Structure 1
Amino acid sequence: MRKSINAEQVLTSRRNVLRGTALAGAAALTGGVAQASLLPRHAPAVSAGTRRPPIIKVEAGPDAMADAAPADLSGLERVRQELVDPPFAPEHEQVASGPPKIVEIEMVTHERLMTVDEDTGASIWALTYNGSVPGPLIIVHQDDYVELTLRNPVESAMEHNIDFHASTGALGGGALTHIYPGEETVLRWKATKAGCFTYHCAPGGAMIPYHVCHGMNGAIMVLPRDGLKDAEGNPLRYDSIAYLGEQDYYLPRDGNGDFRFYDTAGDDYADSLEAMATLVPTHQVFNGAVGALTGANALKARVGETVLMVHNSCNVDSRPHLIGGHGNYVWETSFTDPPLTGVETWFVRGGCAAAAMYTFEQPGVYAYVNHNLIIAALKGATAHFVVEGPWNNDLMEQVVAPRSFQG
């Protein structure tokens, strides 16, 4: 006779499986130096016979933090930022009003089946923050505190966490945010550096690139409190933000060369590691899928509108280029340094986010591409801006329409 199993038993069993599989191979990245576990402090005990994850050295992990005096933030204003889906940005001030604040945000990890390319039927069980690839753009000001509530639904198949490249300490928050299905955690950190930064999931070992290459990354923009400025200190303002995430996928194929389909998240783990080891993406796209920002999904602007293009590339180098336009001001690394000006193609390092500002001067369709044009044309890294407004013949004019000629 089958015994009945309650939800808590299912959850405990799933956690035990995760401990034995999700973090396997982490020693390759950590060297296996023992000090603090990758597991949360209060994670349930591992069942007999289950492999424990490798452990790593953390100078000031949760146990050390328990002895530290809590920061006195009682006088700071708390504000809640409602995150929105890419390519859009949350409501925010370009110049901070008042002293630093505690900015509260919430993110939920979702494991969802996504179509990568409708023409070929390629799909992936995407691992996401708030259901989107990339994860939502977060915007705060320098010296604000980011207070994140991170939740992992009970129906998830995997452990998740988050590493903020903008933060200081404890593996970017990664050591303090490991949550299993059915768990939540709250992390607070101070945004001391101004610029655009990547965040991503980093459970440990081979699971780090596996999660990143399944879409679990995004960007946070930390604005200077007095806003963006040019090299002379003059204020720079934008009318809108276009948030683009460049995602490399490594989708397994069957013996006929067709893309494989998997029933649930995590089923592709072994096949994906084999595909990822080639270092050759099957797709390299903006915002999760081929055509996510073209056609009916194209970005919109008007002549005279200044757009700040925030480009996140968690795993691969990129060379953004706006065909027919430029980077009037480009911050490749930090808002602390003066921006580059008049740039034709800028550079986004793998593991970085960057910002470029442009004021559109002509109507038409502008292609925003990775100017490795093989990646743009064959792998999918192309987005479109559809710009409306009057044409300026002084900037460009067709003097003679195409016609035949006698050679």
Structure 2
Amino acid sequence: MITRRSTIVGAALSAAFIARPCLAQVPDLPRKKVDLVAPPLVHPHEQATSNGPMILEFRLLVEEKERVIDEIGTRLQAMTFNGSIPGPMMVVHQGDFVEVTLASAATNTMPHNIDFHAATGASGGGDLTLIEPGEEAVIRWKATRTGVFVYHCIPGGSMIPWHIASGMAGAVMVLPRDGLKDGAGKPLHYDRVYYLGENDFYVPRDANGKFKTYASPGEAFSDTIELMHKLVPTHVVFNGRVGALTGRNAMPAKVGETVLIVHSQPDRDSRPHLIGGHGDYVWETGKFSNPPETGLETWLIRGGSAGAALYTFLEPGIYAYVNHNMIEAVELGATAHFKVEGAWNDDLMTQVMAPGPVNAAAH
């Protein structure tokens, strides 16, 4: 168990900050309360806005809860924001203020906090939000940089990698006020947006090779940390479990629609690839102040970051979206599906001859 004083660096806050009043002056701006939704969905938002900056209010509830993470019933003592893995994505515009109430369920067993990679100062907010079970804290920060950014728990010491590897990460998207643009400054628009959070899980096995179960996160700690030190995950998944976004859970789209795919990975590098499609416009580093790359087959999401890709679907069918470390995609779970409806275009692809016996005479 760590104490409230245990920040990531174990240092006290500066005397200058401690001398400030606990309640900061509220900017004289309009406010909007945003109801978050579970990934891969994203709450309604404007892609471009003519309105001035405002204060967007969000609420995140930390919950420690057991979750099944694969088809054989493997159980993870998970830690979550709003009960989902990843935590919900928050969308704002550059210049807005992000006001987040972080609350910890009374049934939790340990301290938690939140570090926003999009924010500036105080360990991304981690120093200001360390709360015990049954407590809440409110932080407000200004969205000064555009792009997609990771947020995660950062309570201190070994708790940092353990909490992140147990599911405590999400993303923030800060849009330019005039919307997304291509490299020439031409506006870009998306018809749908999906958020995929990739996680690596480490579930210990018993002497017979079966995954172990635990009564609480604390009981799982020692075995889990020992396994994490080997840097070999037992599961690499999108949105909290194997199959979370495949089959009946596939993400829908239609031929002709442009889809924005936001992909985060708080720990390890990933190599997204859309089988049968491409990245028409890709912000590989996730920052919209940089021009997007175009026409990519596979791109890189660096550990501890998020990226974004736009693709307009041109053919119907099931598109597998994978981590193109295919071992992790096929064997460990890092596969998602898009189910695209519409008319087939023979000009883009057609079957010239169906599979059949080799015609020896022709060869």
- Please give the TM-score of this superposition, normalised by the length of structure 1: 0.85
Q: Which shows bigger deviation, 274-283 or 91-100?
A: 91-100
Change (3 A) 1:54 1:360: closer
1:198 alignment counterpart:
150
2-side partners of 1:154 and 1:243: how far apart?
A: 29
1:189 alignment counterpart:
141
Contact 1:306 1:358 (C-alpha < 8 Å) held by counterparts: yes
- Which of 45, 56, 76 lines up with 1:92 in the alignment? 45
1:366 alignment counterpart:
319
1:81-120 superposed matches below 5 A: 81-119=34-72
* Deviation readout 1:25-53 (Å, 9 max, x if unpaired): xxxxxxxxxxx9337xxxxxxxxxxxxx9
**2:309 match: secondary structure:** strand
1:272-283 superposed matches below 5 A: 272-283=224-235
1:38 alignment counterpart:
6
2:131 alignment counterpart:
179
1-side partners of 2:270 and 2:171: how far apart?
A: 15
1:140 alignment counterpart:
92
The amino acid across from 1:335 in the alignment is F
**1:366 match: secondary structure:** strand
The amino acid across from 2:54 in the alignment is K
- Which of 250, 259, 268 lines up with 1:307 in the alignment? 259
**2:219 match: secondary structure:** coil
- Which of 289, 298, 303 lines up with 1:350 in the alignment? 303
1-side partners of 2:272 and 2:353: how far apart?
A: 32
1-side partners of 2:129 and 2:50: how far apart?
A: 30
1:97 CA displacement: 3.1
- Which of 80, 86, 89 lines up with 1:128 in the alignment? 80
1:396 alignment counterpart:
349
1:62 CA displacement: 4.5
Is structure 2 residue 330 aligned with structure 1 residue 377?
Answer: yes
Change (3 A) 1:266 1:141: same
The amino acid across from 1:219 in the alignment is A
- Identity, in percent, stands at 55
1:59 CA displacement: 4.5
**1:356 match: secondary structure:** strand
1-side partners of 2:284 and 2:41: how far apart?
A: 20
Is structure 2 residue 189 aligned with structure 1 residue 234?
Answer: no
1:335 alignment counterpart:
288
**1:37 match: secondary structure:** coil
The amino acid across from 2:59 in the alignment is E
Is structure 2 residue 319 aligned with structure 1 residue 319?
Answer: no
2-side partners of 1:61 and 1:208: how far apart?
A: 27
**2:197 match: secondary structure:** strand
2-side partners of 1:405 and 1:232: how far apart?
A: 50
2-side partners of 1:278 and 1:54: how far apart?
A: 24
* Deviation readout 1:234-276 (Å, 9 max, x if unpaired): 1000001111000100101111110000112321000000010
Change (3 A) 1:145 1:231: same
1:293 alignment counterpart:
245
Contact 2:254 2:341 (C-alpha < 8 Å) held by counterparts: yes
Change (3 A) 1:330 1:117: same
Contact 2:316 2:343 (C-alpha < 8 Å) held by counterparts: yes
The amino acid across from 1:201 in the alignment is C
The amino acid across from 2:151 in the alignment is Y
**1:266 match: secondary structure:** helix
Q: Which ranges of structure 2 fall in alignment gaps of 5 or more residues?
A: none
**1:234 match: secondary structure:** coil
Contact 1:134 1:288 (C-alpha < 8 Å) held by counterparts: yes
- Which of 49, 63, 66 lines up with 2:18 in the alignment? 63
1-side partners of 2:220 and 2:32: how far apart?
A: 40
**2:151 match: secondary structure:** strand
Is structure 2 residue 118 aligned with structure 1 residue 166?
Answer: yes
1:112 CA displacement: 1.1
Is structure 2 residue 27 aligned with structure 1 residue 73?
Answer: yes
* Deviation readout 1:83-124 (Å, 9 max, x if unpaired): 0000000010100231100000001001111101122x2110
**1:236 match: secondary structure:** coil
- Please give the TM-score of this superposition, normalised by the length of structure 2: 0.95
Contact 2:10 2:156 (C-alpha < 8 Å) held by counterparts: no
2-side partners of 1:255 and 1:401: how far apart?
A: 49
The amino acid across from 2:11 in the alignment is I
1:191-270 superposed matches below 5 A: 191-270=143-222
Contact 1:60 1:170 (C-alpha < 8 Å) held by counterparts: no
Change (3 A) 1:251 1:61: farther
Change (3 A) 1:388 1:254: same
Contact 1:61 1:176 (C-alpha < 8 Å) held by counterparts: no
Aligned residue pairs: how many? 359
1:153 CA displacement: 1.3
Q: Which ranges of structure 1 fall in alignment gaps of 5 or more residues?
A: 1-20, 24-35, 40-52
2-side partners of 1:299 and 1:331: how far apart?
A: 21
1-side partners of 2:359 and 2:192: how far apart?
A: 49
